[in-house]
Structure 1
């Protein structure tokens, strides 16, 4: 393992947006529905599609988020977002142009897994935004990047690029103009732990295609590391290690090809989903050195005091990219793969047996956005081990376990640590993730031991979590449990959740109170 010392090449703001010399936004506000409380600009926690244009603008103007993710995947969408922003806030975007200083990035449907009609509408939105910008004498193109979710191969990115290029050429012919972009900057969002470990190959194959397709080698690529769905798929620790390995792979790709990378990571506030909140900025930057862009999700923005949020975003805008990346050796990558198999195996062994427990509580987790019918990561014909298990999406999954006082980070963790001890891998783990012990202590504050005893007596699979907690405590040399008065209040709400559920009463009110106390729904 060595630090990747690369020359600090600046990214000026006023350059061709599709080259390596454009500005790289540090903070991307997203529409992830993980907020427990209401936005500072609203009187209720539910955010309708009609309010998302306002949310987008406020993310720029109030919070100084430099980018906003406009989500076309699995939810209702306002397709006139750019026109609405321009018409209502013309002076702002004349001074802070979309595509130069502020960025609006569509997350389009996966090219293989969702209907093509929504993809075509997203393409039309990107191209019509350029037309609107030209008509209003604003910077063009305002939109030129898309996020492709659940990327499993370079072929998916290639098909997406070809389809957009064909659409753009047709639009030029139809309108009699030379609108840009003709090609997209595609941000491959890679979501499985196994895929993350091999993701350099995806970049190599895709950039080779783009060199042939456009006649020019790409100057920049922004690979997007998922943290939420890899945790749902393989557990907390496997997701962390896979993200670290992916970062290493991307900077090795940069070193060997000369194509600059600006890696992104999607992180929620709770550590199972990433662990980025206004309270953890320094820890997060240290855990993932080399990250250039982070998602600032709803709970980050809305479950903390506004001034605290603004200061944390300013800190991210200033500090991201300040630490040199770490590149792992071939041997270290093999060891990470070995650790991944250990922790994924124990996590899945528990979750495979938990479907009735999980889905029985899912109905009580409150909705925070308008979503289409969607079964989540496993629902796209994803299999968990051999069970073919369908689970709720990651936010709901995380909320369920936190609401009963069993942080999902603990699932499979203790048994994985035990196996690492037996195989002499704990020193390696400490080297790869030196913050782990302190992170577990923080997670452990939300453990409700009494609930774990009650539920383990009723659900056999939770006996595995109980025995795992015992090993975690021996690993740390201390007991897990509440430490502060706020922690004890959270424990009390989670006790209410379990007791109400056992007596057939809706626990939703206490679920919300617990979420407000921990500053995130899930």
Structure 2
């Protein structure tokens, strides 16, 4: 997880990984065998970081170009997954998905000068779409995770979805036992809904050792 949420992270991370550790990444293809997943700031909740949301998404096409050159393969995935923290509504996920699709990737088709599109100067912008992973952190959203998933599915129709259930903030805010129970309920609802919709649900849970996940 490459965390843009309040962190000063290196935007050239993919280039540096591939150039410093070429043998490792020749044998472990980024985007297939190992994944670099961007954690965005939530522009609805973290107002001072709103523009970083856009900056982080702009990293993805550059990472793709670097990986394509390294592997010599146009079909490479590179970086294609992002985590949206503090997710409370499906609309936030849909906005993130469409912002990338229409603003970041879609700008390639803009004609800024007659007969000259952005892609004619900067090249194509890939990947065309991304996977958005909701990070559910508050109690109401954890208990209402079904509504978030199904409304996102109605707009985007993904074949699979990853859901990230928080543990540290719920434990800090509600206590250890309520956080454990809420996480179990959220995971059960997500998996049950996935079976009903006919999509694969891959769960992530943010557990860790004490005292950082609610221990004393």
Normalising TM by the smaller chain, what interval? 0.7 to 0.9
Instruction: Give distance in 2, aligned partners of 1:167 and 1:100.
Output: 22
Instruction: Give distance in 1, aligned partners of 2:177 and 2:80.
Output: 34
Counterpart for residue 119 of structure 1 = 53
Could you say if the C-alpha distance between residues 171 and 78 of structure 1 is closer, same or farther in structure 2, counting changes exceeding 3 Å? farther
Tell me which of 185, 188, 191 is aligned to 1:248: 188
Indicate if the aligned counterparts of 1:147 and 1:188 stay in contact, CA closer than 8 A: yes
Write the mapping of 1:441-520 to structure 2, written as runs, cut at 5 A.
none
Q: Does 1:168 align with 2:105?
A: yes
Tell me which of 193, 202, 205 is aligned to 1:262: 202
Structure number with greater Rg is 1
TM-score by length of 2: 0.87
Instruction: Give distance in 1, aligned partners of 2:69 and 2:139.
Output: 45
1:198, distance to aligned residue in structure 2 (A): 1.0
Tell me which of 145, 149, 159 is aligned to 1:199: 145
Write the mapping of 1:101-500 to structure 2, written as runs, cut at 5 A.
101-114=33-46, 115-138=49-72, 140-165=76-101, 166-171=103-108, 174-176=118-120, 177-211=123-157, 218-270=158-210, 273=213, 407=216
Indicate if the aligned counterparts of 1:129 and 1:141 stay in contact, CA closer than 8 A: no
Indicate if the aligned counterparts of 2:45 and 2:86 stay in contact, CA closer than 8 A: no
Question: 4+ residue stretches of structure 1 with deviation over 6 A?
Answer: none
1:148, distance to aligned residue in structure 2 (A): 0.3
Cα RMSD, aligned residues only: 1.7
1:136, distance to aligned residue in structure 2 (A): 2.5
Instruction: Give distance in 2, aligned partners of 1:240 and 1:253.
Output: 20
- Unaligned 5+ residue runs, structure 1? 1-68, 212-217, 275-397, 399-406, 408-522
Instruction: Give distance in 1, aligned partners of 2:62 and 2:108.
Output: 9
- Unaligned 5+ residue runs, structure 2? 110-116
Write the mapping of 1:15-26 to structure 2, written as runs, cut at 5 A.
none
Please state which structure has a larger fraction of its residues in strand. Answer: 2
TM-score by length of 1: 0.37
Indicate if the aligned counterparts of 1:94 and 1:138 stay in contact, CA closer than 8 A: no
Indicate if the aligned counterparts of 2:42 and 2:50 stay in contact, CA closer than 8 A: no
